């Protein structure tokens, strides 16, 4: 089984990609998946447990623990599907590159959907405006936080979940290992899906498949209420179509220019 990790930015069409992949008979692509949380719990136990720390042969016990993790990953995936390719969706996999490489002695295959940062911030703002009847984490009146579009845009960029994802990507780029990630621009996926998918299959050594981009059936289901932003975060449209570029309309030119300047490293790296 080929295990692939979809570790994408929020609001960047990662759910769309998963559902496109699920049209392919050789692929099983998950909704947001919790396997990494299980591995993190195991790592914490391995690090702090007196029994492991007391081992005289730390090299051997570390190899044994790596074997435990590999077996856990492979057993988990094999119960989900017998298909030759499985794509696990979870944002934290980008931060686990080194760990996965040590476990498997090969570089992991990690896909990361990205998007113009102005459009991501605009998408968060549209979610905020869509739900005026609910208290929002982006509006804290007693602290005068989130009381304007400009302040909310700053909060989106400097708080979870977006800030840690930007940190992870910047770290990969600075360390020179960004080339190990298969970055897919959301704009390219939605404008030229055939080209993007063919290139992806070539990189994965998978057979090409004739997708029906006008009839994407949603196969991944998530209970979006747990995220607190909106009850309908991961519902996709059945037809792949170019994303609407409405950042200036939603945020205004001043905020858009500020994002381009402050996050120039990101915008330049991905060609925005």
User: What per-residue confidence (pLDDT) applies to 119?
Assistant: 98
User: Could you give the strand order of the β-sheet that contains 181-185, starting from the edge strand earlier in sequence?
Assistant: 27-32, 85-89, 2-6, 109-114, 181-185
Q: What does the pLDDT look like over 39-91, one tens digit per residue?
A: 999 999 999 999 999 999 999 999 999 999 999 999 999 999 999 999 999 99
pLDDT at 225: 62
- Please give the Cα distance from 82 to 78 (Å, whole number): 6
Q: Determine what percent of the chain is predicted with pLDDT higher than 90.
A: 88
Residue 35 above 60 pLDDT? yes
What is the per-residue pLDDT for 178? Answer: 73
Q: What pTM did the predictor assign?
A: 0.94
Q: Which of 8, 220, 175, 176 is CA-nearest to residue 93?
A: 8
Q: What is the pLDDT of residues 182-233, one digit of tens each?
A: 999 999 999 999 999 999 999 999 999 999 999 999 999 877 566 556 566 6
- The pLDDT tens digits for 226-259 are 655 656 667 889 999 999 999 999 999 999 999 9
For residue range 132-174, list pLDDT tens digits in order: 888 888 999 999 999 999 999 999 999 999 999 999 999 999 9
Q: Which residues of 165-187 are buried (b: 16+ CB within 10 A; e: fewer)?
A: bbebbeebeeeeebeebbbbbbb
């Amino acid at each position: 089984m080929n295990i692939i990790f979809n570790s994408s930015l929020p609001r960047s069409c990662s759910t769309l990609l998963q559902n496109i992949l699920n049209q392919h008979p050789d692929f099983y692509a998950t909704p947001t998946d919790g396997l990494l949380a299980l591995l993190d719990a195991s790592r914490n136990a391995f690090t702090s447990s007196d029994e492991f720390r007391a081992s005289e042969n730390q090299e051997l016990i570390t190899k044994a623990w790596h074997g435990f993790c590999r077996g856990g990953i492979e057993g988990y995936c094999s119960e989900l599907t017998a298909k030759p390719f499985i794509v696990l969706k979870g944002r934290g996999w980008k931060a686990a590159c080194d760990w996965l490489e040590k476990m498997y002695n090969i570089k992991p295959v990690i896909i990361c959907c990205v998007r113009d940062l102005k459009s991501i911030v605009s998408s968060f703002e549209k979610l905020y405006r869509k739900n005026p009847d609910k208290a929002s984490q982006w509006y804290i009146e007693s602290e005068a936080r989130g009381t304007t579009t400009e302040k909310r845009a700053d909060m989106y960029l400097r708080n979870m979940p977006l800030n840690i994802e930007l940190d992870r990507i910047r770290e990969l780029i600075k360390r020179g290992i960004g080339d190990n990630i298969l970055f897919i621009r959301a704009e390219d996926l939605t404008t030229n899906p055939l080209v993007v998918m063919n290139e992806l299959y070539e990189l994965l050594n998978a057979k090409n498949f004739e997708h029906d981009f006008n009839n994407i059936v949603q196969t991944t289901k998530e209970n979006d209420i747990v995220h607190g932003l909106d009850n309908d975060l991961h519902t996709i449209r059945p037809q792949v179509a170019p994303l609407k570029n409405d950042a200036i309309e939603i945020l205004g030119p001043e905020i858009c220019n500020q994002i381009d300047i402050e996050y120039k490293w990101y915008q330049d790296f991905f060609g925005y």
